[in-house]
Each structure stands twice: as structure tokens, then as C-alpha cells.
Amino acid sequence: MLVIPVIILLFLLLQIWKQSAQKKFADSYLLKRLSPNRSLFKGVLKVLVLCGAFACLSLALVNPKIGTKLETVRSQGVDIVFAVDVSKSMLAEDIAPNRLEKSKQLVREIINSLASDRIGIIAYAGKAFPQLPITTDYASAKMFLQNMNTDMLSSQGTAIHEAIQLAKTYYDDEEQTNRILIIISDGEDHEGDAVDIAEEAREEGIRILTVGVGDEKGGPIPIKRNGIVLNYKKDNSGETVITRLNETTLREIAEETEGIYVNGSNTAEVVETIKDVLDKMDKKEFESKQIADFKDQFQWFLGLGILLLFIDIFFLERKTAWLKKLNLFNENF
């Protein structure tokens, strides 16, 4: 839009220069005789048309929008809390690239398959830590998920019962029946009372789905520096620790809440199984909001701007017959 005052300023300077040059060339009477069709009005009109063209093109760049309708959108879904094991045993590489990275991949793919469900994330080892509260912001969930590692909790071990206990505080509706807790772990429960806590969760309407990551044959826990394996974790007697997938514990936890257990080695199978469970559950309405559906209107201003440019190009600055009759500026012919 700043082009417009520049055009007007240049036009005024041009007129001043013309007047000065014409006075040097001849007096006003002789100039009228030499150029009888010369018109100041046509010059002003031509500049105004050009300014109008630039104004329309500027508005087209802004792309104004007009709301055409309002819709009421109701988001319905299930509250899903992911409890991800971040204990040192999750560094075992019996499943590529390791158990923790596989767990992150599973959670990420499950989130990608969701539509309008709310999700939360818990990290746990010897203690449970709320990583992300219930939200519909999937992008934030993936960001928090990516930053999870085995060093984020100083208390080591695998206390599944702590994760279940913390998950119970995530659900904000006492009458809600569509509560899902997805535990992703190698199943090593060092406390041993996860099944009892799962029974309490069932009484509160929480259905637990468990996903096992790792291999029943197990594997050592590597100690790395800059991506290079320096050694493997050893016990007090100096023997290399072998950590194994404990499917029995995970099955018992799931069965206690009428949930299901699925082996996490096949990502597509895990996503499909969990999606099938979610599709069969009752949906709860989370929020209602008005969304305006706007349509672009730039094309009208663009078309008018181009039209004015064409008019300006073919606009002559000399007087025409109809303009002579109007004599808007009381010019002597």
C-alpha cells in the first residue's frame, strides 16, 4: 500500500517539472494553441486508476476471508493413558533397536491411528512420573515421547503398580466408563503387587491393555558411551545380567481388568489389535465448539486490480469530445 503515496508524489513532481519546462518553452496562450487536447483531469484520473489497481492487488495479497457457515463440532473418543517402562532393562537389544525405542515406536504408531481420543503419558521405573497430562494435542505427545530415556528417573527398578496407581489420577470424570491404560513394558515387576493394584483399577472402570517388548530368551543390558558398547551390566557376583520378557505378569494384569495382552514384536499387529478394542468401546463427548468455515475472497480483488491496470494502460491523457462538453475545470478551448 506504500506504493500509492509514492505514485502520487511522483505524479505531483512530474506535473511541477512539466509546468516549469512548458513555461521555458512558450507562454500559456501559445501552449493552448499548440496542444489544445492537453488535459490535467485525464492525467489525475489515470493516476487514481493506477492507485486503485495497486490497492486492489494489495488486498488480494492479504487474502480476506468471509465466514460462510458455523458448525457445531463434538469431539468424541476414549481417554487413553500410556505407561512406558523406562527402566535400565529397557536398553536390552533383544528387539531392535532396543526395548525402549521399540516402545516409543509402538506408542507413536498407536497415536497416529487415533482420531479424537484424549491421551496421556506416564514414565515409570522404580517410581512413576507424569510425563504428559490428558490432552488432544498429539504433536506435543510425540515430542514428550521422543525425549523419554532411561536416565529421566533416578529410582531404578520396574514398579508397574506405581504406574497403575498414578494412571488412576489421570481420569477426570468419575462416571466415565471408557478408560484405557496401555502398559508397555518387558514385564519385570520388581515389586510384585501389580496384579492387586490392577484389581483396584478394574473397580474404577479402568481397562488395562499390556504390550510386551523384548524376547523370552532375554539379553544383556549394554553400557554405552557415545554409542559404543563399553560393557554389560553385571550383578553383585560379577555375572552379566540377562533380562527377559515376562509375558506371564503382563497377561495377568490384563486379564484382571478384562483387557488383553499383545506381544510388541509386530508393530502393525499391536496397532490393529488396540484400534479394534477402542472401536468397540463407548465414546464420550469431550468438548463442543463453534468452527467458522471461511472462504477465500482474494480473487475478486485480484480481478479488479488487473482490470484497473488494463484501463490505466489504455487510458489516454488527452481530452476527448465528451470531456470537452463537460468542461469540469472551466478550461478554455
pLDDT surpasses 80 at 41: no
Residues 151 and 56 in one domain: no
Residues 111 and 207 in one domain: yes
Residues 17 and 84 in one domain: no
Number of domains in the chain: 2
- The per-residue pLDDT for range 237-251, each reduced to its tens digit, is 888 888 889 899 899
The closest of 216, 218, 217 to 243, measured between CA atoms, is 218
Residue 126 within any structural domain of the chain: yes
Residue 113 within any structural domain of the chain: yes
Residue 331 within any structural domain of the chain: no
Residues 98 and 178 in one domain: yes
We report the CATH number of the domain holding residue 118 as 3.40.50.410
Residue 189 within any structural domain of the chain: yes
Residues 101 and 208 in one domain: yes
Distance CA 97, CA 286 (A): 37
Classify strands 284-296 and 65-77 as parallel, antiparallel or unpaired.
Answer: antiparallel
Residues 233 and 108 in one domain: yes
Residues 25 and 108 in one domain: no
142 residue type, one letter: K
Residue 220 within any structural domain of the chain: yes
pLDDT > 90 in the chain, percent: 23
Residues 79 and 185 in one domain: yes
Give the model's pLDDT for residue 159.
Answer: 80
Give the model's pLDDT for residue 333.
Answer: 46
Residue 206 within any structural domain of the chain: yes
Q: Which domain holds residue 166?
A: 73-288
Residues 132 and 30 in one domain: no
Residue 333 within any structural domain of the chain: no
Residue 208 within any structural domain of the chain: yes
- The per-residue pLDDT for range 266-295, each reduced to its tens digit, is 999 999 999 999 888 877 776 655 556 677
Residues 177 and 196 in one domain: yes
Residues 15 and 94 in one domain: no
Q: What is the DSSP letter of 137?
A: -
- For the ranges 72-81, 92-101, 254-263, 294-303, the lowest mean pLDDT is seen at 72-81
SS3 82: strand
Residues 303 and 276 in one domain: no
Strand residue runs (E) in the chain: 65-77, 79-85, 118-124, 128-135, 179-185, 206-212, 219-220, 222-225, 228-232, 242-243, 261-263, 284-296
